[in-house]
Structure 1
Amino acid sequence: MSKLKIFITFSLLLPVLASSNAKSYSADDVINFAKAYVEQNIEQPANGKIQVTPATIDPRITIKPCSVPLSANIPENYSSRNLNVKISCESSTPWQLFLPVKVETTVPVLVSNGKIAKGSILSNDNIRIEWHDLYRIRGEVIDEPSKVLGARTKRTLTAGAIITNKVICVVCKGETVTISAESDSFIIKTSGIALKNATFDEQVRVRNSRSGKVITAQVKSINQVVINL
Structure 2
Amino acid sequence: MSLFKNNCSKIVLIALTLLLSTKATNAKTYSSTELQNLAIEFISSQQEPLTNGERNFSASKLDDRIDERHCESELEISSANANYSNRQTTVQIKCLDEIKWLQYVQVRTTELAEIVITQNPIAKGQLITAQDIVTEMRPTHLVRNQNIDDIKMLIGSRATRSIRAGNPINLNQICMICKGDKVTIYAKQPNLVIKTNGEALENGLLGENISVQNSKSGKKIQAQVMNTNDVIVNL
Q: TM range, normalised to the smaller chain? A: 0.7 to 0.9
Post-superposition Cα deviations, 1:14-42, rounded to whole Å, max 9, x if no partner, equal 86555334332413333223333444543
Letter in 1 for 2:109: V
Post-superposition Cα deviations, 1:43-85, rounded to whole Å, max 9, x if no partner, equal 4462x33322122344258453324x76556943245432233
Letter in 1 for 2:12: F
Q: 1:49 aligns with which of 46, 54, 57?
A: 54
8 Å Cα contact 2:71-2:95 kept in structure 1 = no
Q: 1:34 aligns with which of 39, 54, 58?
A: 39
Name 2:154's counterpart in structure 1: 148
8 Å Cα contact 2:24-2:72 kept in structure 1 = no
8 Å Cα contact 1:34-1:85 kept in structure 2 = yes
- Distance in 2 separating the partners of 1:124 and 1:94: 60
Name 1:137's counterpart in structure 2: 143
Name 1:24's counterpart in structure 2: 28
TM-score normalized by the length of structure 1: 0.73
Pairwise CA distance, 1:118: 1.4
Post-superposition Cα deviations, 1:99-118, rounded to whole Å, max 9, x if no partner, equal 21122333333223333221
8 Å Cα contact 2:179-2:201 kept in structure 1 = yes
Identity value in percent? 26
Matches within 5 A, 1:68-79: 75-79=81-85
8 Å Cα contact 1:112-1:126 kept in structure 2 = yes
8 Å Cα contact 2:117-2:133 kept in structure 1 = yes
Matches within 5 A, 1:129-208: 129-181=135-187, 185=190, 188=193, 190=195, 191-208=197-214
Partner of 1:51, secondary structure, is strand
**Unaligned 5+ runs, structure 2:** none
8 Å Cα contact 2:85-2:109 kept in structure 1 = no
RMSD (Å), alpha carbons: 4.0
Partner of 1:100, secondary structure, is strand
Pairwise CA distance, 1:163: 0.9
Name 1:10's counterpart in structure 2: 12
Structure number, greater radius of gyration: 2
Pairwise CA distance, 1:215: 0.8
Name 2:113's counterpart in structure 1: 107
Q: 1:64 aligns with which of 43, 64, 71?
A: 71
8 Å Cα contact 1:165-1:200 kept in structure 2 = no
Q: 2:218 aligns with which of 171, 190, 212?
A: 212
Letter in 1 for 2:61: T
Partner of 2:127, secondary structure, is coil
- Distance in 2 separating the partners of 1:103 and 1:182: 51
Instruction: Note closer, same or farther for the CA distance 1:64–1:149 as it changes in structure 2 (3 Å cut).
Output: same
- Distance in 1 separating the partners of 2:54 and 2:103: 27
Letter in 1 for 2:215: S
8 Å Cα contact 1:148-1:222 kept in structure 2 = no
- Distance in 1 separating the partners of 2:85 and 2:46: 14
TM-score normalized by the length of structure 2: 0.71
